[in-house]
Amino acid sequence: MTPFLAYEDKGTHTPPTPTPTSESESESALPLVLVHGHPFDRTMWTPQIEEFSRTRRVIAPDLRGYGASPVVPGVTPLARFAADIEELLDELKVGTFVLAGLSMGGQIAMECCARLGDRVRGLVLADTFPTPETPEGKAARNAMADRLLREGMRGYADEVLEKMVAPYAAPEVKAHVHRMMTATPPEGAAAALRGRAERPDYRPLLARLTAPALVVVGRDDAYTPVADAEAMHALFPHSTLHVIEGAAHMPNLERPAEFNAVLGEFLDRVDELG
């Protein structure tokens, strides 16, 4: 079966990770699965793909409606995004793995944890939050969906660029982020916004999660402030919080060396746990 999602699959592929029912563990490092945010694509993870594919398998899909994946207009719930990822990982014969998501991708990662259970051996949540949408937020997301369908992506991209990354971010980072936003199909972005407006409360899920977690946030993130990250960190039984100075909503691109160092330390800890 051909996977529905476009994706990058790079790094060590053998031996394969065990199936979910296997009693034995591979000696290789756990695969790393990266879930991008809105309105981006898998290239937002380029610094992480390049770094970690040297030592482990790294899989980064384009979510439906984004990048090179098919566009399905209407409403795309977070549960549908998670089901797509599950189907892709099953097709690629990935058993257990570490899962990382940023912003909307973090909420999709939470949904994946609900679906996939112990297959997720470690969870990385960057610049995201677990709370359900407020009535005001739901109205705003649906209004933005209408606007994107009516006007396209460029005006929105121009407006939010210096919130997605800090005003002082490197020009090449700004250009990359703007390029991803303007390349996103409006129909896909609108469907995701409408689905995200209906998201559930993930706080009870995080409170009972037994896998280790890493919470990362940019100090100057206006979308998900440090206080939100601290509150989320407090929910987990086993988690580490790291605040990246000199970054806003996309610290993996704005400060990739620091982000990779923190992520690398976490991956090593998870690998040791098996």
Question: Is 238 part of any domain?
Answer: yes
Please indicate, yes or no, if residue 138 is contained in any of the structural domains.
yes
Say what the pLDDT of residue 28 is.
77
Total domain count, the chain: 1
User: What confidence tier does 120 reach under pLDDT thresholds 50, 70, 90?
Assistant: very high
What is residue 161's predicted lDDT score, i.e. its pLDDT?
Answer: 98
pLDDT tens string 62-95: 999 999 999 999 999 999 999 999 999 999 999 9
Give the sign of the dihedral formed by CA 233, CA 238, CA 243, CA 244.
negative
Query: 10 Å Cβ neighbour count for 274?
Result: 10
CA 229 to chain centre: 15
What tens digit of pLDDT does each residue of 142-199 get?
999 999 999 999 999 999 999 999 999 999 999 999 999 999 999 999 999 999 999 9
CA 189 and chain centroid, separation: 15
Q: Determine the length of the chain.
A: 274
Q: Residue 189: inside a domain, yes or no?
A: yes
- The pLDDT of residue 54: 96
Q: Does residue 146 fall inside a structural domain?
A: yes
Query: Which residues lie below 8 Å from residue 219, measured CB to CB, with a gap of 6+?
Result: 226, 243, 244, 245, 246, 247
Least confident of 25-34, 46-55, 132-141, 185-194: 25-34
E strands within 113-158?
120-126
Q: Classify residue 237: in a domain, yes or no.
A: yes
Q: What is the pLDDT of residue 24?
A: 35
Torsion of CA 49, 50, 54, 57, to 10 degrees: 20
Q: What is the pLDDT of residue 10?
A: 97
Judged on CB neighbours under 10 Å (0-12, 13-18, 19+), 254 is: buried
User: What is the extent of the structural domain holding 226?
Assistant: 7-273
What the block records as the tokens of 217 is 């946030």
Domain assignment present for 200: yes
Q: What's the confidence (pLDDT) of residue 26? A: 42
For the CA atoms of the chain, what is the radius of gyration? Answer: 17
- pLDDT by residue (tens digit) across 183-211? 999 999 999 999 999 999 999 999 999 99
Q: Residue 77: what are its φ and ψ, rounded to 5°?
A: -65, 160
On whether residue 1 sits in a domain, the answer given is no
**Chain mean pLDDT for the chain:** 94
Q: What is the mean pLDDT of residues 211-231?
A: 98
| Percentage of the chain lying above the pLDDT 90 cut | 92
CATH code assigned at 180: 3.40.50.1820
Whether 260 is covered by a domain: the verdict is yes
Token pair in block for residue 225: 């402030």
Which pLDDT belongs to residue 2? 61
Residue-wise pLDDT for 127-137, tens only, equals 999 999 999 99
Give me the pLDDT at residue 1, please.
55
Helix (H, G, I), strand (E, B) or coil at 34: strand
Among residues 113, 112, 79, 106, the alpha carbon closest in space to that of 210 is found at: 113
Between 87 and 18, the higher pLDDT residue: 87
For residue 154, count other CB atoms closer than 10 A to its CB.
11
